[in-house]
Chains A and B, each alone.
Chain A
Amino acid sequence: MGDPLNAFITACDLPPLKEGRLSGLRIAVKDNISTAGVPTTCGSRILQGYVPPYDAFVVELLRAEGARIVGKTNMDEFGMGNTTENSGFGPTLNPIDPRRVSGGSSGGSGAAVAAGMADLALGSDTGGSIRCPAAFCGIAGHKPTYGRVSRFGLVAYANSLEQIGPLARSVQEIATLLQVLCRHDPRDSTCRNRPFDLVPTGEIRGVKIGIPEEFFGFGVDPRVAAVVYRAIERLEELGAEVIACSMPSMKYALAAYYTTCMSEASSNLARFDGVRYGLPVDHRPSWHEAFREVRKRGFGSEVKRRVMLGTFALSAGYYGRYYAKAQIARDLVREDFAQLFREVDLIAGPTMPTIAFRLGEKSDPLSSYLADILTVPANLAGIPAISIPCGEVEGMPVGLQLMGRHFQDELVVDAAYAYEQARGCER
């Protein structure tokens, strides 16, 4: 099978272990999810040659439900990016317009599903990494509530923020995959026993949907905003009650998010020393020299930037100003959501402020970070969030984002299903 989009890092064929709800389906798995016997690179040269001796819990679950795993998908190195251009294995191109990026960091998973190279895919979402490629490639992608899906086997980038979740062409398939993935795993101390229980009905009459004004500020392309407003009107026509609201902590969200994920990453990525696995360390120099050299050769620029800034944010004299403040800001975001969810059942807005960037457009790190402003709040608060296609700008898809209360992934998915059904009838 050719891969003109560069969606896969490794092709494989892991057959199902038995028949189940996913029988007959080909599933692509993001390359930061461990697969026994199949290389797992996280899009990084530093993991060159690493073959995990164990399966991630989600991989066990998929294969036990009849799925066939067909490949490991491309991604921004360790999940650090929203374009897949930060991959050590080249960018993944957007299936709708190959001059544009597929989004990231789960860009390979997004492109593979959108292009029909896989039926379904797993991604991981630390600050929007499932929802961004879903929006850019015109498919559905869901970030589950923190603790709903086991992270055992997911190579950590920012442990307190990330979740594994599904990407698919339909919301129905998202629901099916969530039924398989949401299982308690005693090997992940942050995983809770909350099975996903939903047969989508598409009924959203009486559901209250909050529209925070901030989700339409912060550099959101007015054309994107217009498409999303139309989608929200559609939800209103289906019987939802739309309520304008506000989320003042949004101004801290991006700084809080980046400070937190960089800090955690600076610690998580310290294990890549070329000793036990990955890019071979040179045994001739002394330890620190050799360690420094492996990281110099093995990490791309964005990883170096984040590890260094994270180190800085945790260092003596700066912890209080950066890491600690970020956690205080994170509390404010949680409180804002809690406040809003006393009034409304769901929150809606765009997934990304713009359509898919042109390749090379986001060469400046900060401008790339700013594009995450609408997706990071859900990660900071640990709430569920889905992105579904809701229209086009310049022929490129636009994503509608719906967020819900903790462990109410079912309501989020059902509302997305309602919209998808209505939009399907329309077209």
Chain B
Amino acid sequence: MRTVTEERGVIIGLEVHTQLSTASKLFCGCSTDYREDEPNTHVCPVCLGLPGSLPVINRRAVEYALKVAKALNCRVAEECEFARKNYFYPDLPKGFQITMYDRPIGTQGYVDIEGEDGEKRIGITRIHLEEDPGRLVHAGEGDRPKYTLVDYNRSGIPLLEIVTDPDLRSPKEARRFLNALRTTLEYLGVFEGDREGALRVDANISIEGQNRVEIKNISSYKGVEKALTFEITRQRGMMRRGLGIERETRHFMEARGITTSSRSKEVEHDYRYFPEPDLRPLRVRSWLDRIQLPEMPAARRERFMVQYGVSLTHARTLTGELRLAEFYEKVAHVDALLAATWVADTLLGELNYRDQSITALPPERFEALLRMLKSGAITDRGAVEILRRMLDAAARHEPIETPERIMKSLDLGRDNATDLMAMAAEVVSSNASAVSDYRSGKREALNFLVGQMMKRTRGKADPRELRRVLESILTSG
């Protein structure tokens, strides 16, 4: 029996911070490519907040923000302006963060996602530009660090903050929204989603009629769903015990999958915003006309279905990540449907399992593998084995050998591969009427031919493979 509390809906809004992929920082010329480097080596007087330094706006960051505003269907005001958000923390070298307050880049946009019951529109409250703070490392053991170490390399990296309306109704929807957002940003070429810390999320969640809880600083896509799921369970538990939900800020402990109270007394922060006097306002709405949006995920999905004849499920998967879509398009010419199955199911599965990125595998290698599959030179199982060998080599940063070489070295080459081809040729030549039926459009004739081959191999061969070998002969003949 469902209790009253469980029938009450969940209301979720997200604040997403994404690092824009400019070459230099938002207000100075320091490089944004800091991840592998020593602390405090990508800093200058501006991003260190040295006395007397002044910020200057990076034009490309503004262009990127406008691109996103356009893609997310936002309204862009005649004039926007940076403001100072004042709070004191050692990762903030000026004692304030330059952000946007009452005059952001975009407002009132939306994103369409696959919701719990069909397509759903998620409102975008606002998007604005701001600078990333530095990075803090807490030194010392456990719960009571002795001091803090600060690295300002991240200080001043351009962030785009995207705030949604409280339109999301479940952790799953939140995840879908983030996936859709990430894909959109990647398609726009303004964001590199797999860079560490490139996306951080604060989530506001409440159960109808109860106080709102803010969960701070969730740093992964999966984390968002986990944190929200935990939080709903926690809040429902409290309500079941007749306890109220306190309005508070909680932290998500990624490793343990739980949220904990920040324990700070919930003082309303007074950020004392005021217009940044060292910068001039921006009047850039007219730039929108010049911005050409690339083919966006939904359009590409439609095109894949039309151009390649792939299923909706495959099209959705393949276009769900920009580089996956590009990879697919590079190998699709071998055989669009075969490629779709092997990229969307086999390859993606292997990559996810290994936590590898699609960039690990050069498309030429995969293309060669597809050709071998198509010609019947290799079994499905053999192909998977070769694929794994290639991905293992990539993970070890070793050169990736060609699938042919791997096949030979592992002796995966099916001895009977050529036999199979010969056998198929024989079957084709000795069943002329079935062949001409097939060629005149009677697809069932192929079943007959497969049956003939099954007989000859005494049922040992894989019928799917036989089908493919036969098809390749029939279509090339």
Contacts and interface: CB of A to CB of B under 8 A. Distances in A.
Q: Do chains A and B touch in the complex (CB under 8 A)?
A: yes
A363 B13 CA distance: 54
Contacts of B89: 287
A270 interface: yes
B95 A270 contact: yes
A415 B86 CA distance: 44
Interface stretch (B191-199, B275-283, B439-447): B275-283
A273 B150 CA distance: 13
Nearest to B272: A314
A276 B272 contact: no
Interface string B87-130: 01110011110000000000000000000000000000000000
A270 B94 contact: yes
A270 to B, nearest CB: 2
The binding surface of chain B is classed by DSSP as loop
Nearest to A324: B274
* Chain A interface mostly: loop
B230 to A, nearest CB: 29
Interface of B: 45, 48-57, 84, 86, 88-90, 93-96, 147-148, 150, 268, 270, 272-274, 277-280
Contact of A323 (B86, B90, B274): B274
B93 A276 contact: yes
Interface of A: 32-34, 40, 42, 47, 50, 52-54, 56, 151-156, 158-160, 186-190, 263-264, 266-267, 269-273, 275-277, 283, 287-288, 291, 311, 314-316, 319, 323
A315 B55 contact: no
A273 B54 contact: no
Nearest to B279: A189
Contacts of B270: 315-316
Given A152-B54, A160-B277, A271-B95, 18 more contacts: A34-B52, A40-B52, A53-B45, A151-B54, A152-B53, A153-B53, A159-B277, A187-B54, A189-B279, A190-B277, A190-B278, A266-B272, A270-B95, A271-B51, A277-B50, A314-B272, A314-B273, A316-B272
Contacts of A32: 52
Nearest to A34: B52
B278 to A, nearest CB: 5
Contact of A316 (B268, B278, B279, B280): B268
A190 B434 CA distance: 83
B90 A267 contact: no
A47 B51 contact: yes
A263 B96 CA distance: 13
Contacts of B147: 283
Contacts of B54: 151-152, 187-189
Contacts of B280: 189-190
A-B pairs with lowest CB-CB distance, top 6: A270-B95, A314-B272, A160-B277, A159-B277, A155-B51, A153-B52
Contact of A187 (B50, B51, B56, B272): B56
B278 A159 contact: yes
Contacts of A277: 50-51
A186 B46 CA distance: 13
29 contacts: A32-B52, A42-B51, A52-B45, A52-B51, A56-B52, A152-B54, A155-B51, A156-B278, A158-B277, A159-B278, A186-B56, A187-B56, A188-B278, A189-B56, A190-B277, A190-B278, A267-B96, A269-B95, A270-B88, A270-B95, A273-B88, A273-B95, A275-B90, A275-B150, A291-B88, A314-B272, A316-B272, A319-B274, A323-B274
A267 B95 contact: yes
B52 A155 contact: yes
A319 to B, nearest CB: 7
B88 A288 contact: yes
Nearest to A41: B51
Given A263-B274, A267-B95, A271-B95, A276 B88 contact: no
A406 to B, nearest CB: 16
Nearest to A162: B277
A158 B273 CA distance: 15
A264 B96 CA distance: 11
A158 B143 CA distance: 41
Given A154-B52, A314-B272, A189 B90 contact: no
A93 to B, nearest CB: 27
A156 B52 contact: yes
A158 B277 CA distance: 9
A276 B47 CA distance: 12
A267 B88 contact: no
A52 B150 contact: no
A159 B98 CA distance: 14
Nearest to B43: A276
Nearest to B57: A189
A128 to B, nearest CB: 19
A267 B51 contact: no
Contact of A40 (B51, B90, B93, B274): B51
A257 to B, nearest CB: 14
Q: Which of A56, A158, A190 has the most CB of B within 10 A?
A: A190
Contact of A34 (B51, B96, B150): B51
A188 B94 CA distance: 17
A40 B272 CA distance: 29
